[in-house]
Amino acid sequence: MATSGSGSASSNGENLYFFPEDEITEAGLREILAGEDAERRAWAISHLLRYAEWEDIWSYISREQAREVFPDLDLPENLRHAWARMLGIEAGVR
């Protein structure tokens, strides 16, 4: 996976391209996603759904994981509605 948005993320300790304002590596992301901090997990998934390419999203999370945290995601309304449709969530708005 590359850091520049080329469509693959990196397992060599480089920062991931879909965290444009933060220094998050693949190992760091996997730690966040496996951790107990639900707010931090929602933050990470929000970044995946906003900035990552399709294949990269699903290499880190499942659709079920996205559905589980959907109410807590920080997404613009237009993107929230689009993701709600893609994930089969009826009430996509907060």
* Model confidence pLDDT, tens digit, residues 9-62: 555 679 999 999 999 999 999 999 999 999 999 999 999 999 999 999 999 999
Tokens at 1, concatenated:
């996976």
Does residue 74 form part of some domain? yes
Nearest-5° angle of CA 28, CA 46, CA 43?
Answer: 55
Look at residue 56 and tell me if it is in a domain: yes
**What is the tally of structural domains in the chain?**
1
Residue 4 lies in a domain: no
Please check whether residue 15 lies inside any domain of the structure.
no
Q: Which domain holds residue 67?
A: 38-87
Whole-model pTM: value is 0.83
Q: Provide the Cα torsion 45, 48, 54, 57; round to 10°.
A: -50
Is 64 domain-assigned? yes
27 is a domain residue: no
